[in-house]
Structure 1
Amino acid sequence: MDIIAKIKSTAIETPDRLVFSSRDGKMTYGELWKKSSALASYISNRLEGNREPIMVYGHKHPDMLVAFLACVRSGHAYCPVDIGNPRERVSDIASAIDNEIVIVVQHEEMIDIDDKYEIVGREKLDTILESDTSYDDNEPVSGDETYYIIFTSGSTGKPKGVKIPADALNNYLKWSVTLSGGIPEATRFLNQAPFSFDLSVMDLYTGLATGSTIIALDKGLQQDMPEMLKYIASSDIEYWVSTPSFSDMCLGEADFSEENFGSIKAFLFCGEVLTKDTAKQLRARFPHAKVINTYGPTESTVCVTEVDITDEVIAREGALPIGLPKPGTEIRIDPENSEMIIVGDSVSSGYYKDKERTDKVFFMAEAGSLSENPKDMVRAYRTGDTGHYDESGMLFCDGRIDHQVKLHGYRIELGDIESNLTNIEGVAAAAVIPKRHEGKVESLTAFVVREG
Structure 2
Amino acid sequence: MKILDSIEKFAKTERAAVKCLGNELTYKELNENSDKIAKYLLEEFKSDRTPIIIYGNKENEILPIMIGALKSGRAYVPLDITFPEERVNQIIKEINPKVIFNFTQNNLKTHDALEINLDQLKDILKCEISNLSRDTWVKDDDNCYILFTSGSTGKPKGVQISKKNIDSFTQWFEKYLNFDESPNTILNQISYSFDVSVIPIYIGLGNGKTLFSLNKDTLEDLKELFNQLINSHIDCWVSTPALAEMCSKFDDFNDEKISDLTSFVFAGEVLTKKLIGELTKRFSKARIINGYGPTEATVLISAIDINKQMIESEKSIPIGYPIENCELSIIDKNGNKVKDGEKGELIVIGDSVSKGYLNNPEMTNKAFFKSADGKQGYKTGDLAYYEEGIIYYCGRKDFQIKLNGFRIEIEDIENNLRKVNNINNAVVFPVFNEEHKISHLTAFVVLNEENELSNLKKSILIKNELKKLIPSYMIPRNVKILKEFPLNTNGKIDRKKLMEAVK
TM-score, normalization: structure 1? 0.87
Instruction: Tell me the equivalent position of 1:7.
Output: 7
How much has 1:344 moved relative to structure 2?
A: 1.4
Alignment partner, residue 212 of structure 1: 209
Superposed CA deviations along residues 311-344 of structure 1, whole A, max 9, x for unmatched, are 2221111210011011101210012271100111
Residues 373-397 of structure 1: CA deviation (Å, up to 9, x unaligned): xxx321110000010011x221101
**1:39-438 matched pairs, under 5 angstroms:** 39-104=37-102, 106-107=103-104, 109-134=105-130, 135-336=132-333, 338-366=344-372, 376-390=373-387, 392-402=388-398, 435=443
Partner of 2:27: 29
Q: SS state of the match for residue 67, structure 1?
A: helix
- Matching residue's letter, 1:306: A
8 A Cα contact 1:296 1:305, kept in partner: yes
Question: CA, structure 1 residues 124+137, in 2 after alignment: closer, same or farther (shift >3 Å)?
Answer: farther
Say if 1:236 and 1:118 are closer, same or farther in 2 by CA, change over 3 A: same
Q: Which residue does 1:371 correspond to in 2?
A: none
SS at match of 2:136: coil
Cα deviations by residue, 1:73-122 (Å, 9 ceiling, x for unpaired): 11111111111111111111111110221122x21x22422222210221
Task: Structure 1: give runs of 5+ residues left out of the alignment.
Answer: 367-375, 408-413, 419-426
- Contact 1:436/1:442, CA 8 A, preserved across alignment: no
Q: 1:339, 1:204 → 2: CA distance? A: 30
Q: Are the aligned partners of 2:50 and 2:98 in contact in 1 as well (CA < 8 Å)?
A: no
**1:24–1:61 CA contact under 8 A, matched in 2:** no
Q: In the alignment, what sits opposite 1:372?
A: none
* Distance across 2 between alignment mates of 1:343 and 1:351: 16
Ranked by relative contact order (alpha carbons within 8 Å, sequence separation 6 or more), the top structure is 1
Which position in structure 2 is the counterpart of 1:422? Answer: none
Q: How many Å separate the matches in 1 of 2:70 and 2:181?
A: 26
C-alpha distance in 2, partners of 1:320/1:168?
Answer: 27
Q: Which moved more, 1:329-338 or 1:254-263?
A: 329-338
Q: Measure the CA separation in 2 of the matches of 1:182 and 1:3.
A: 14
Partners of 1:217 and 1:65 in 2: how far apart?
A: 14
Q: Secondary structure at 2:38's aligned position in 1? A: helix
> What letter corresponds to residue 87 of structure 1 in structure 2?
E
Looking at structure 1, the residues matched to 57 and 368 of structure 2 have their Cα atoms a distance apart, in angstroms, of 31
Give the RMSD, CA atoms, in angstroms: 2.7
Please list, as runs of the form range in 1=range in 2, the aligned pairs for 1:430-449 lying within 5 A after superposition.
435=443, 443=495, 444-446=498-500
Match of 2:499, as an amino acid?
A: T
CA distance in 2, matches of 1:214, 1:428: 51
Alpha-carbon offset, residue 436 of structure 1: 7.2
1:18 maps to: 16
Residue 360 of structure 1 deviates from its aligned partner by 0.5
> Would you say the 8 A contact 1:270–1:294 is kept in 2?
yes
Cα 1:245–1:351 change in 2 (3 A) is same
| Rounded Cα–Cα distance in structure 2 between residues aligned with 1:254 and 1:65 | 34
Residues 262 and 365 (structure 1), Cα distance of their counterparts in 2 relative to 1, 3 Å cut: same
TM-aligned CA deviation for residue 182 of structure 1 = 3.9
| C-alpha distance after superposition, 1:148-181 (max 9, x if no partner) | 0001111111111100010110121111212344
- Structure of higher CA gyration radius: 2
Instruction: Give the distance between the partners of 2:160 and 2:437, measured in 1 at CA.
Output: 31
Secondary structure class of the residue paired with 2:251 = coil
* Residue 26 of structure 1: how far off its partner (Å): 1.3
Structure 1 residue 284, shift from structure 2 partner: 1.1
- Shift in Å, 1:54: 1.0
Alpha-carbon distance between aligned partners in 2 of 1:10 and 1:181, rounded to the nearest angstrom: 19
Between the aligned partners of 1:8 and 1:140, the Cα distance in structure 2 is 13
Q: Which residue type is aligned with residue 353 of structure 1? A: N
Q: TM-score, normalised by structure 2?
A: 0.78
* Counterpart Cα distance in 2 of 1:148 and 1:186: 27
> SS of the residue aligned with 1:351?
coil
Structure 1, residues 167-209: CA drift from partner, whole Å, max 9, x if none?
Answer: 1101211112123444553211001111011111112211111
* Aligned match of 1:370: none
Q: Is the contact between residue 24 and residue 60 of structure 1 (CA under 8 Å) also seen in structure 2?
A: no
Superposed CA deviations along residues 219-243 of structure 1, whole A, max 9, x for unmatched, are: 1101111211110110100000000
